[in-house]
C-alpha cells in the first residue's frame, strides 16, 4: 500500500492521505476546489469544480493513474441546485470513462466550499 499527499494543509491537520494506491486501485479522498499551492478557494461552484478536477487529476497522476481510469465518483454539494452548472465540466473531464456516479447533498467542512469530489480508479 502506498499513501500519497497533495500538500494540502488539511491532510496533515486532519490525518488522512489525498490518495491511496492499493492492489492496483487508486482511492482518492474527497477533493475540494482549493488551490493547494496557496490554499485559496475560488468563488462559485463552477470555478471550484474546475479546480477540484485539476486536484483530482494531479492525485491520480501521482498514484500512477489518470482520469480515463476512474470507475467510481461521488459528488458532494451543500446545494443540489448547483450540481447542474458543473455537468459540462464533468462531461469534459471524464470523456469516455463515464464512471459510475452518485451526487449527495450535504454540508461540507467549510461554508464557502461548494463541491467535493471523491473517486476510485484503476492504476495504469
Number of structural domains (the chain) is: 1
Kindly state the average pLDDT of the residues 60-83: 97
* pLDDT at 4 > cutoff 80: no
At residue 77, the 3 state secondary structure works out as: strand
What are the pLDDT digits (tens) for 14-67? 888 888 999 999 999 999 999 988 989 999 999 999 999 999 999 999 999 999
User: What is the reported pLDDT for 7?
Assistant: 76
In this prediction, residue 24 carries a pLDDT of: 96
CA–CA dist 28, 31 (Å, integer): 8
What domain range is 10 assigned to? 2-122
The residues, any chain, with a CB within 8 Å of residue 82's CB and separated by 6 or more, are 45, 114, 115
Q: How far is CA 76 from CA 22, 65, 105, 107, in A?
A: 24, 22, 6, 8
Quote the pTM value.
0.93
Q: What's the CATH number where 96 sits?
A: 3.30.1330.40
Amino acid at each position: 500500500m502506498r499513501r500519497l499527499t497533495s500538500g494540502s494543509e488539511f491532510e496533515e491537520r486532519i490525518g488522512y492521505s489525498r490518495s491511496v494506491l492499493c492492489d492496483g486501485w487508486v482511492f482518492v479522498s474527497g477533493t475540494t476546489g482549493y488551490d493547494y499551492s496557496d490554499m485559496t478557494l475560488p468563488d462559485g461552484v463552477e470555478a471550484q469544480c474546475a479546480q477540484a478536477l485539476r486536484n483530482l487529476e494531479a492525485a491520480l497522476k501521482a498514484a500512477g493513474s489518470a482520469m480515463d481510469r476512474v470507475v467510481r465518483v461521488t459528488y458532494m454539494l451543500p446545494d443540489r441546485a448547483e450540481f447542474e452548472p458543473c455537468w459540462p465540466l464533468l462531461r469534459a473531464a471524464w470523456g469516455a470513462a463515464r464512471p459510475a456516479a452518485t451526487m449527495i447533498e450535504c454540508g461540507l467542512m467549510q461554508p464557502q466550499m461548494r463541491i467535493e469530489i471523491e473517486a476510485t480508479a484503476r492504476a495504469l
